[in-house]
Amino acid sequence: MSVNKAILIGNLGKDPELKYTPGGQAVATFSLATTDRWTGQDGQKNERTVWHNIVAWGKQAELVKEYLHKGRQVYIEGRIDNRSYDKKDGSGKGYISEVVLQNIQFLGSKSEASSSSASADAPSAPPPEGSAGGDDDLPF
């Protein structure tokens, strides 16, 4: 058995870009920021933002373009995909990892999106290995 599923809650880094394939299928791409926050063993507050490339197809792509804007918070489920492309400068192939959208829930309101930044209100996540908040802090 194998599983390929990504679940993300974050904020859009820019407005989605909508294009159509030569066959007429809609495809939208956008970036999503997720932010981890933790306090280190030294008491120092830390923050790390990770950017994710998201791709939506068909009707979902058109809905994404219509309702999502920079700063808007969303819940996303999808599968992780890797693909290659020819670099514009002709220097060979480039590679990209992206989440292919399968399910989306719009969070917050459209008006909130215009006043929030790309990392504002992002959910807290577990701290990276080696920092405070290890197994000793778990309630079970």
Q: State how far the Cα of 69 lies from the Cα of 78, in Å rounded to an integer.
A: 19
105/59 Cα distance (integer angstroms): 14
Burial class of residue 100 in the structure, from the number of CB atoms within 10 Å of its CB (0-12 exposed, 13-18 middle, 19+ buried): middle
The pLDDT score that the predictor gives to residue 112 is 54
pTM confidence score: 0.72
pLDDT tens-digit series, residues 18-65: 999 999 999 999 999 999 999 999 999 999 999 999 999 999 999 999
Which class for 4: exposed (0-12), middle (13-18), buried (19 or more C-beta within 10 A)? exposed
- Once rounded to an integer, what is the mean pLDDT over residues 87-104? 93
Select from 2.40.50.140, 3.40.50.300, 3.40.50.2300, 1.10.1040.10 the CATH code of 6-121.
2.40.50.140
**Res. 109 pLDDT band, cuts 50 70 90:** low
Which residues are registered as beta bridge partners of 85?
A: 94
> CB of 55 within 8 A of CB of 27?
yes
